[in-house]
Amino acid sequence: MPSRAERLLELLQVLRGRRAPVAASGLAETLGVSLRTLYRDIQSLRVQGADIQGEAGVGYLLRPGFTLPPLMFSPEELDALALGARWVRQNGDAALAEAAERAMVKIAAVAPRDAGEFIEAPTQLVREKRGEARQDDWMPKLREAMRQERKVALDYVDAQGAPTQRMIWPIALGFMTEHRVVAAWCEARVAFRHFRVDRIASLAITPARYPRRRRALLAEWRKAEGLEG
């Protein structure tokens, strides 16, 4: 689910693309929100200076001239963002790589014009893109499970090549040089375990939720791994 800031930006973009008033019901449907939320978002944009004309039952129209204020990033901050996004684009799974690309386009659109060519002519480079791997197919589902804090049923092949079934509570993903690893609580072992994503044969997100919040589990994992401090 997008954040409120992302939703406001999307609402602004939708209004910018319309030359005639748009009904509130149509806007709410496009954004996937309730009418009450839409009215609140319209008011928030007005407070920020957007000249949105109209009212409930009539429709809304954004008058020209409103732009978002530039993001106040220093050149070093922009370089850091570009480097991180470029690493993800080169080394992340396909869904995450596309998200990194979209994020940089959004940042570039609202960054100060004199901030430097941090996208087209970067000062930091990363290694060539690694090859696509089957493990990438599971990454979006694992991220979805973590966001929803839902248990995951795995058909897994262990280090000895033996098939096994596990019920896990995924808490973090690790991007290693050659492999992707999911850190999780394993119900079969009653302990935290690390599973190589390329050894997952099948994966299903279950309706069952973690008994504790992922943040708490992550803190416990960090303590168990000696990663505190």
Q: What is the pLDDT of residues 149-163, one digit of tens each?
A: 999 999 999 989 999
Alpha-carbon dihedral angle through residues 196, 202, 207, 209, given to the nearest 10 degrees: -10
pLDDT at res. 109: 67
Q: What is the pLDDT of residue 86?
A: 84
Q: What is the mean pLDDT of residues 45-66?
A: 81
24-42 pLDDT, tens digit per residue, is 998 888 888 999 998 999 9
* Whole-number Å distance between alpha carbons of 201 and 141: 13
Residue type, 53: Q
Position 181 scores a pLDDT of 93
Q: Does the pLDDT at position 70 exceed 60?
A: no
**Residue 18 reports pLDDT greater than 70:** yes
- For residue 82, what pLDDT band results from cuts at 50, 70 and 90? confident
**pLDDT of the residue at 1:** 56
Supply angle C-alpha 95, 96, 98, rounded to 5: 70
> Tokens for 114?
């004199």
Residue 89: what are its φ and ψ, rounded to 5°? -60, -35
Nearest alpha-carbon partner for 38 in 66, 20, 58, 60: 60
Whether 130 shows a pLDDT value over 80: the answer reads: no
Mean pLDDT, the chain, integer: 83
Choose the CATH number for 134-224 among 2.30.30, 1.25.40, 1.10.3470, 3.30.420.
2.30.30
Range list of β-strands (E), the chain: 52-55, 59-62, 150-157, 163-175, 180-186, 191-196, 200-209
Residue 77 is predicted with a pLDDT of 78
Exposed / middle / buried, residue 152 (Cβ in 10 Å: 0-12, 13-18, 19+): buried
Q: What is the pLDDT of residue 170?
A: 97
Residue 211 banded pLDDT, cuts 50, 70, 90: very high
Backbone φ and ψ of 159, nearest 5°: -65, -25
CATH class of 4-62: mainly alpha
Give me the pLDDT at residue 222, please.
92
| pLDDT exceeds cutoff 80 at 45 | yes
Q: Is the pLDDT of residue 131 over 60?
A: no
Can you give the pLDDT at residue 121?
Answer: 64
